[in-house]
Amino acid sequence: MTTLYVNTQGATVQTRDGRLVVTQADLVLADLPIETVDEVTVVGRGVGITTPALIALGDRGVDVAFVSQRGRYYGRFIGARGGPAAARIAQARVAASSSRALGAARAIVIAKIHAEAALLDAHGSPADPVRRWIDPAQRVATLDALRGVEGAAAAAYFRAYAALLPPTLGFRGRAHRPPPDLVNALLSFGYTLLLQIAIGAIQTVGLDPYLGILHVAEARRPSFALDLIEPFRPTIDWLTLRLVSDGTISPADTTPAGAGLRLLSDARQRVLEAFEAVASTPIGHPLAAGRVSLRQAVTLDARAWARFFLGEAPTVASAHIADLWSAR
């Protein structure tokens, strides 16, 4: 599928002689035949789209999704031959089938383990204690057993991850209710930012962020969004490692909050700026002709899940997030 992302603030999407044209003042940013576009994603409130362009896209069944620059989902214009119902129904059928849900959840866990191992490899830390859980993940027969494998792999990963951090930071493993140390506070904040991108991406492609596969559906918990970010979590782990290693964030940037810690306001701003830089970093994705931003890659992963649910793809393609740290 070809998705046209328009994220230049001040740009306008319009039609000219059967072509979709994106302009900013007198500058043409994109010009392509409208029949080659499967979806348009408008990023930010500063991007406009004309009524003739909406009508032309709608007539071809092309959806237009509107999201904020930080990934918040605003809404979507649904083309005459499109809509989210079919994808959501298919998602629900997979979630309701124990055998199909197990296969889908297995893909999530294995992708996450590979990403965790890649991060450890990139930093010279032994990854075999994490990779050893790939085979059990492939062999378990129930979702509960798979969740147990995911938990064991995560525990092994965070033991190795802790060795990459200065011992003075006091990180002894993942703890988040509440976060007891700086590293856990950074991880929790970063995962939340990533989750917001995932929710927007899932809604953009017409799926239900609350109908989980690996994560059990619970009231007010975006379980499928949590599923989607699992393979992307090492991105936040890498960013956290970078922030504390170069001194951008230190324990002095936290304050007590109940039984745990929280980041001070100016520290959160520095994290936001660093996160936005990472979210804009180009990485590879099997569904993209070239490199795309991490933010776009999350949407492409969501789109891959929609195709899988609809039976249009036998497996789920995932972004090459190791690109983020392998080049550094």
Q: Residue 239 is part of a domain; what is its CATH number?
A: 1.20.120.920
β-bridge mates for residue 41, sequence order: 5, 65
Residue 217 CB coordination number (10 Å): 14
| Domain shared by 272 and 303, yes or no | yes
Shared domain check, 243 and 114: yes
3-state secondary structure of 42: strand
**Same domain for 71 and 95?**
no
Read off the pLDDT of residues 262-283 as tens digits, 9 standing for 90 and up.
Answer: 888 788 888 888 988 898 888 8
pLDDT at residue 72, rounded to an integer: 60
Q: For residue 165, give the DSSP letter.
A: S
- Rounded to whole angstroms, the Cα distance separating 244 from 265 reads 17
Q: Is 37 found in the same domain as 112?
A: no
Tell me which residue range forms the domain holding 321. Answer: 85-326
The pTM of this model reads: 0.77
Residue where the block lists tokens 């509960």: 144
Choose one of 77, 94, 109: the last residue of a domain.
77
Closest CA to 177 of 236, 231, 257: 257
**19-24 vs 27-33, strand pairing mode:** antiparallel
Shared domain for 37 and 96, answered yes or no, is: no
Domain total of the chain: 2
CATH number for the domain including 32?
3.100.10.20
- The residue among 77, 101, 129 that closes a domain is 77
Kindly state whether residues 150 and 92 are assigned to the same domain.
Answer: yes
Per-residue pLDDT of the chain (328 residues; tens, 9 = 90+): 467 888 888 999 999 998 999 999 889 999 999 999 877 888 888 999 999 999 999 998 888 888 776 556 677 787 775 456 889 999 999 999 988 899 999 999 999 999 999 999 999 999 999 999 999 999 999 999 999 999 999 999 999 999 999 988 989 889 877 888 899 989 988 888 888 888 888 888 889 989 999 998 887 788 999 999 999 999 999 999 999 999 999 999 888 877 788 888 788 888 888 988 898 888 888 888 788 899 889 999 999 999 999 988 887 878 888 888 765 5
Of 26, 48, 77, the position where a domain reaches its end is 77
